[in-house]
Structure 1
Amino acid sequence: MMKVLAIGNSFSQDATRYLRKIVQASGEDMKVVNLYIGGCPLSRHFKNMNNDERAYSLEFGGETTGFSVSIKDALQSDEWDFVTLQQVSHKSPDYKTYQPYLDALSAYVTFHAPCAKQVIHQTWAYEDGSARLTEEMGYETSTQMFSDIKAAYGKAAKAISADRIIPSGESMHLAVRHGFHNTHRDTFHASLGPGRYLLAATWFEALTEKSVVGNSFCDLDVPTDFDTISLMQEIAHEAVESYR
């Protein structure tokens, strides 16, 4: 059974909500743990790491457990196959905000989980027309924001010699290019149905290296029709293939 630990925030929460269920529908299983603090940047992960703070809500298989843990607690709790790292969304376009925190976190993961492959979770751009995109971030379009995000995460992956990038941002960007505009729920988080499904499908393909196309899982938190689920599968497959 593959074991995946995400050190993230609400964006990794969005991405892992359906991941285990998609894996189970493929006939396998996956241990999926997310360390959740809403809006948590790399700088705060770094502080929590140094102080060994039990500041994270432990989420298992896309569900909240009610337990609070530290990064070290989680890293030492199992033999992980993958550990994912990411920046908070509003700082993701600016690589200067990643360091020195990313390098230090990567070294910490290597020390406490030496057999785990380290993976960069590429987050996504805000929705076109949103105040967060234009007023907070200063972009005119989501394409502009994603271009900077993609470049920054590419640098991050090289800096820590990451095993791979999970191209969640690419998938969300491709969805719009395919004419699908229901992947966000509040202009920045993923929608509870198609958006979260698309992200989980992307993680499934990136981590298992198997195609998600034709996967039977469809019991989403928000009812979603078969054609939409099929489209999300095709988009996730296209995104991951482009990063191989």
Structure 2
Amino acid sequence: MLRRTLLALPLLTLYAPLLSAEEAAPTTVRLLTVGNSFSANATKHLPGLAKAAGKTLIHTPLVIGGASMQVHLDKAKLHEANPADPKGCYTSKRGLKESLAAEPWDVITIQMASIKSHDIANYRPSATELRDYIKKYAPKSEIVVHQTWAYRVDDPRFTKPAEKPGEPATQEAMYEGLTSAYNTIAKELGGLRIIPTGDAFHIADNDPQWRFQPDTTFNPKTAKQGELPNQKHSLHMGWQWKKGKDGKTTLGMDGHHANIAGEYLGGCCFFEVLFKQSCVGNTYVPKGLSAEDARYLQEVAHKAVAARGIETTAVKAAAAK
């Protein structure tokens, strides 16, 4: 088995700290995610992880592709002005107001559109307004900030000239910007907890024995249909061939969204924060992901969550290994 840097960490780092009896890990969590495709990515494997741990997850996703917090606020205002207007609804003629009141949500997550995540100005004043709106209609729920992740190192955002001033020029610059912005806004909103998927992606992307390395031998301009570069250890979709509406199959790059490994990593972060239990040793491994890689991603997620000071209980089966 490949020996990785993370696996060399002391055992206590991977399975501690432990919760006190008063902070026992919940067995059921009701989750409402107010987000976009990144929240959909990060929660795709959350049900599988919860089931394998003997937990009950009740999850309703409010997903608008590419949406910022302001987009959700605007949708809520449209619905309140005219409940019959489909532009103000998510599904079943239900707007944000009704969605917030639909369940006694334990946790409601909010996030920024990834393309805007690096600049704190994009969070103001919409983050405060969205928090206040949620508190008005779901006062007993905990609002948690979902930290999104930086794009893949070879994403066009970093390989082409910036379209406007202030754009991050590298993956590292994007991570630093979004991390600063999420930390700042979480503090401004009252010290909210953060689900650190962005931190977890950053840890894996900077692990010398794991991180993705662009295939410098691949030329997308001359690639024949079906040909793809070596994308080992990518956490993002990357290069892929897709058939368009016109029936033509073309090669495209998606350095934004998570692939199965990134989705699993995000799900592990969500699991630990929501259920206050370590994901290390969880037996759920989705098809297409090796058991070895799943274990590594579990440990990365746990390291990211622990670094945020979020306490989790140990998994007895995992601790015994």
TM-score, length of structure 1 as denominator length: 0.90
For 1:237 and 1:23, locate their aligned partners in 2 and report how far apart those are by CA, in whole Å. 15
Query: Residue 115 of structure 2: SS of its match in structure 1?
Result: helix
Mapping for residues 174-185 of structure 1, pairs under 5 Å? 174-178=203-207, 179-181=210-212, 182-185=234-237
Of structures 1 and 2, the one with the larger relative CO (CA 8 A, separation 6+) is 2
**1:16 matched to which residue of 2?**
43
Where 2:200 maps in the other structure, the secondary structure is helix
For 1:188, what is the secondary structure of its paired residue?
Answer: strand
Alpha-carbon RMSD across the aligned residues, in angstroms, is 1.8
User: Is the alpha carbon distance of 1:123 and 1:57 closer, same or farther for their aligned partners in structure 2, counting shifts above 3 Å?
Assistant: farther
- Rounded Cα–Cα distance in structure 1 between residues aligned with 2:272 and 2:78: 35
1:73 to 98, 101, 104: 98
| 1:231 matches 2:296 | yes
1:243 corresponding residue in structure 2: 308
Counterpart of 1:61 in structure 2 is: none
Q: Which has the larger radius of gyration?
A: 2
Residue deviations 1:26-73, cap 9 Å, x none? 011111221011001122112112222655886xxxxxxx75632112
In 2, the alpha carbon distance for the partners of 1:110 and 1:91 equals: 24
Q: 5+ unaligned residues in a row in structure 2: which ranges?
A: 1-27, 80-84, 213-233, 238-253, 310-321
1: CA distance, partners of 2:178 / 2:266: 16
Deviations 1:79-117 (A, max 9, x none): 000110111001000010111111111001001001100
Change beyond 3 A, Cα 1:75–1:230: same
1:189 alignment partner in structure 2: 257
The corresponding residue for 1:171 is: 200
> Which letter maps to 1:205?
E
Provide the residue aligned with 1:156 in structure 2: 185
- Alignment counterpart, residue 286 of structure 2, candidates 190, 214, 219: 219
Q: Which residue of 2 aligns with 1:210?
A: 277
- Distance (Å, rounded) in 2 between the aligned partners of 1:134 and 1:115: 45
Give the CA deviation at 1:131.
0.8
Q: Distance in 2 between matches of 1:15 and 1:89?
A: 13
**Is structure 2 residue 73 aligned with structure 1 residue 46?**
yes
> Following TM superposition, by how much is the alpha carbon of 1:196 offset from its aligned partner in structure 2, in angstroms?
0.2
Q: Supply the AA of the counterpart residue of 1:30.
A: L
**Quick check: 1:49–1:72 contact (8 Å CA) kept in 2?**
yes
Q: What is aligned with 1:63?
A: none
Task: Please tell me whether the aligned partners of residues 75 and 88 of structure 2 are also in contact (alpha carbons under 8 angstroms).
Answer: no
Structure 1 unaligned segments of length 5 or more: list them.
59-65
Letter in 1 for 2:302: H
**Distance in 2 (alpha carbons) for counterparts of 1:169 and 1:68:** 33
User: 2 CA distance for matches of 1:227 and 1:48?
Assistant: 43
> What is the aligned length?
234
* Rounded Cα–Cα distance in structure 1 between residues aligned with 2:283 and 2:89: 30
Distance 1:26 1:149, change over 3 A: same
- Specify which structure has the higher proportion of helix: 1
Whole-angstrom distance in 1 between the partners of 2:124 and 2:297: 33
> In 1, Cα distance between the equivalents of 2:113 and 2:106?
23
How far 1:121 sits from its partner (Å)? 0.4
